[in-house]
Amino acid sequence: MNSDEIHHQSKLIFQRIEQDSVFLQARVVLAFWSLKDEVFTHDFIVKWSKEKTFALPVMIGDSMEIREFTGVHYLQNQNSFGVLEPINGKLIAWDNIEFALIPGVAFDFNHNRLGRGKGYYDRIMHQISAPKAGLAFDYQWVEHVPVGLHDKSVDFVFTPNGKF
């Protein structure tokens, strides 16, 4: 998809999330600062950060910690993936997360997800008891995602066409 289509489809996804009671009740939301081929999260995070605390992942070697988003000016590329990360936000404990937005390359109808292969999100999802929502464009739905012993599924997936 080109950039315009990614932005349009992302807006449809976030319109669904903004009407979801689980999101609306959450005070602390784990999100991700999207890469160019992912559901575009930037505008959504900036918009809702006035009302909610957003936690963004920071990669530390083979693990992640999560820090509070304090503004676009305080994001920096500090990793090999090209993901912007908060450089000054306070650390947020995993058990403070009340809703989590999870990226993926593909999802299936059993809510299994395929990531980018490093297992970062599988490891953090094991630490979060809050509802976990995958974000996906329609073309990211597949019949079956291969699942390994350490893979963790999401609770539901938001697409431009609904919540599954």
Q: Tell me the mean pLDDT per 10 residues along the chain, length 164.
A: 96 98 98 94 97 93 88 82 84 96 94 79 85 96 87 93 94
CATH assignment of the domain containing 81: 3.40.50.10420
| pLDDT the model gives residue 38 | 95
Cα–Cα distance between 149 and 140 in angstroms, integer?
22
How many domains would you assign to the chain?
1
DSSP string, the chain: --HHHHHHHHHHHHHHHTT-HHHHH-SEEE-----TTS---HHHHHHHTTTSEEEEEEEETTEEEEEE---GGGEEE-STT--EEESSPPB--GGG-SEEEE--SEE-TT--EE-SSS-HHHHHHTT--S-EEEE--GGGB-S-----TT----SEEEETTEE-
| pLDDT the model gives residue 144 | 93
Q: What's the N-to-C CA distance of the chain in angstroms? A: 22
Q: Which residues contact 66 (CB under 8 A, 6 or more apart)?
A: 30, 55, 56, 57, 58, 91, 92, 94, 97, 124
| pLDDT the model gives residue 79 | 64
| pLDDT the model gives residue 117 | 64
| pLDDT the model gives residue 8 | 97
Taking the CA atoms of the chain, what radius of gyration do you get in angstroms?
A: 15
Give the domain extent around 98: 3-163
State pTM to two decimals: 0.91
Buried b (16+ CB within 10 A) or exposed e, 45-68: beebbeebbbbbbbbeeeebebbb
